[in-house]
Amino acid sequence: MAQAPAVPHGDAADETTTGLSHRKLLMWAFLGSDCMFFGSLIATYLVYKGKSISGPLPEDVFSIPVTSVSTFVLLMSSMSMVMAYSALTRGNIKGFRIWIMSTAIMGMTFLAFQTFEFRDFVQEGLTPRTNLFGTTFFTLTGFHGAHVTLGVIWLLSLFFYSFKRGGVTAERSLDVDLAALYWHFVDIVWIVIFTVVYLFGVFEGFN
């Protein structure tokens, strides 16, 4: 009995008029729209910066050394993500698993830092309802944290899926490429938040 021809996956299946993968194109369109989403949240934070009539204010609660460490962790997670993708494209599935799990762990570490920070702020009297700073800060960083959480779930799904025969392969590397794009985007958004919200936030002249 003749067997049905194998259906190509990932990059191999993408024969489009542009020659580009529609899934990848869609991901870039999504990331472009997410730029606007975070842009409006950052703008709102900046508009209301220095307009709170009562404390706590950024200089009362921010701990730059702690946030610097969590920023470093997120930057390193971006490196391990590209290492995972690189290992997969070279057919090294074991390397892929190690790197993608490292990325997920670093993502979870970042979230742990954020939870610790939020708990600390609440103990110091800053909640989303306290003042304009609290509202805009928690909304912006909360949405970023939600993006990181979604990213961690995505990475863990890929890790577990890689144990299924033919689940994650070099031929289907686009699946991992899309997750990597999302993860790096989360990283670059944090690069902006760290500078604009944290570093400028504590600088007295920036009001």
| Residues ≥6 apart with Cβ < 8 Å to 79 | none
Which one, 101 or 192, has the nearer CB to another protein? 192
* Least gap, CB of 39 to another protein (angstroms): 3
Question: Following DSSP, what letter does each residue of 163-204 receive, concatenated?
Answer: TSTTTS-GGGHHHHHHHHHHHHHHHHHHHHHIIIIIIHHH-T
Which one, 50 or 125, has the nearer CB to another protein? 50
Which one, 64 or 119, has the nearer CB to another protein? 64
Which one, 65 or 166, has the nearer CB to another protein? 65
- Quote the Cα angle for 195-198-48, to 5°: 100
Question: Closest Cα to residue 169, out of 85, 106, 100?
Answer: 85
Q: Given the rule CB under 8 A, which residues bind another protein?
A: 18, 20, 24-25, 28-29, 31-36, 38-40, 42-44, 46-47, 64-65, 68, 71-72, 75-76, 78-79, 81-83, 86, 89, 180-181, 184-185, 187-188, 191-192, 194-196, 199-200, 202-203, 205-206
* Least gap, CB of 55 to another protein (angstroms): 21
Amino acid letter for position 48: Y
Which one, 22 or 119, has the nearer CB to another protein? 22
Find the Cα–Cα–Cα–Cα dihedral 194, 137, 134, 195, rounded to 10°: 20
Cβ neighbours of 176 (radius 10 Å):
25
* Least gap, CB of 113 to another protein (angstroms): 15
Cβ(67)–Cβ(121) below 8 Å: no
